Chains A and B, each alone.
Chain A
Amino acid sequence: DQQVKQNSPSLSVQEGRISILNCDYTNSMFDYFLWYKKYPAEGPTFLISISSIKDKNEDGRFTVFLNKSAKHLSLHIVPSQPGDSAVYFCAARLNNNDMRFGAGTRLTVKP
């Protein structure tokens, strides 16, 4: 029962351009959404989050958009940098105790 889906396993963009990572969910009870970044041999690192009562949250180069009616979440990175190359996981929280993760999208930013 995969309640959080990242349908693109990989994404490649040119340095300086925008990266858009997408995530879809099925459970309307999720109250909080997060993006994590993961480098090889390291644990996921928190990047940015958004409450279900908001539709946008911005932190520097990173912006997360939430469309509740479409049950869709996206992460925008602009401008993209080579150091952003990593696997990005979308996560949704249920009742403050249980987080569900997508399968991840591997982002490659080319110089």
Chain B
Amino acid sequence: DAGVTQSPTHLIKTRGQQVTLRCSPKSGHDTVSWYQQALGQGPQFIFQYYEEEERQRGNFPDRFSGHQFPNYSSELNVNALLLGDSALYLCASSFGGTDQPQHFGDGTRLSIL
């Protein structure tokens, strides 16, 4: 039973570029949430996707966008990258409508030069 998988594990980009991160949820899960974790901080909620729509959004600019596919996998896109976007990006999945906790992937480490 595969857990949450994220790709790539590491990524280096330069300012102004665009990046796409990918996430496959745990088997049986239909809801995907994305988090940004800066060094020394806890994960910060970016947004959540359910039934291919953004259901909730945290305090992140429109440069951060996402998508969920019919197979429940998801992408996080960040445009016009800034140095401050350097962080660990975590994907978490859950089954919508229940109190079951979210399961996290190991994250994508994004470095902006």
- The interface of chain A, by Cβ under 8 A from chain B, is 1, 4, 6, 32, 34, 36, 41-46, 49, 51, 89, 91, 95-104
Contacts and interface: CB of A to CB of B under 8 A. Distances in A.
Contacts of B90: 43-44
Interface stretch (B14-22, B41-49, B65-73, B75-83): B41-49
B41 A103 contact: yes
B24 interface: no
Contacts, number: 52
24 contacts: A1-B59, A4-B42, A32-B99, A34-B101, A41-B106, A43-B90, A43-B92, A43-B106, A43-B107, A44-B104, A45-B104, A89-B43, A91-B42, A97-B48, A98-B45, A98-B48, A99-B33, A99-B102, A101-B35, A101-B42, A101-B44, A102-B42, A103-B41, A104-B41
B56 to A, nearest CB: 4
A24 to B, nearest CB: 13
Nearest to B107: A43
Contacts of B104: 36, 43-45
Interface residues of B, number: 24
A43 to B, nearest CB: 3
